[in-house]
Amino acid sequence: MNVSYSHAGPWTLADVLALSEDAAQRVELVGGALMMSPAPGLPHQRASHRLHVLLERAAERAGAEVEVFEAINVVVPDGMLIPDLAIVDAAAAAESGVAVSAHDVLAVVEIASPSPRVADRKLKPSLYAAAGIEYYWRIELEPAPRLLVGRLQGTYADQPPFLTGAVARLDEPFPIEFDPGSLVRR
């Protein structure tokens, strides 16, 4: 479905949430302007799906009161972003409709894609940090899968990356272990 994006003046959160769903691209809002990116490719979707399953299983094992979502609307102070994955407080998720407030999000995961690379590496982390989201993870698929984990300390303080072939062991927001390479191969 093609959606019309003609609009006079700055966009508001209400304007964006009123748009028809468009499976061909993601539409985010930053500072009154739309930020659009194409629907993710197969390697991206494969990694997202596999990490989603790993996160859900780990949360369940830990008894964490969270839900893991793919590509949901997260309201931040400067607009609305759509992380590839979001770990959300379960009670808040039960009360949410088309969007969830950033203060109910424990962690976000972005899978760096070729088209929105600058957004995934620069813009979005600063917006998530300003919104107070405690953890920001970024999966880089090229040249080989690796996981970068940031914990909020004003900005995200990155730990050394977890590379393919090494097991990433994380304790927060709940314990999880996985090899970043397992996100892209059978």
Choice between 6 and 119, residue whose per-residue pLDDT is larger = 6
40-183 adopts what CATH topology? tt1808, chain A (3.90.1570)
Q: How many residues does the chain have?
A: 186
Q: Burial of 88 by CB count in 10 Å (0-12 exposed, 13-18 middle, 19+ buried)?
A: buried
Single-letter amino acid, residue 39:
A
pLDDT tens sequence across 93-111: 999 999 999 999 999 999 9
In percent, how much of the chain has pLDDT > 70? Answer: 94
Q: What is the pLDDT of residue 118?
A: 61
Instruction: Collect contacts of 27-30 with beta carbons under 8 A, ≥24 apart.
Output: 27/3, 27/82, 28/79, 28/80, 28/81, 28/82, 29/79, 29/80, 29/81, 30/78, 30/79, 30/81, 30/123, 30/127
Q: Quote the mean pLDDT of the chain.
A: 91
Q: What is the pLDDT of residue 147?
A: 97
Among 87, 45, 71, 88, CA closest to 176: 87
| pTM assigned to the model | 0.92
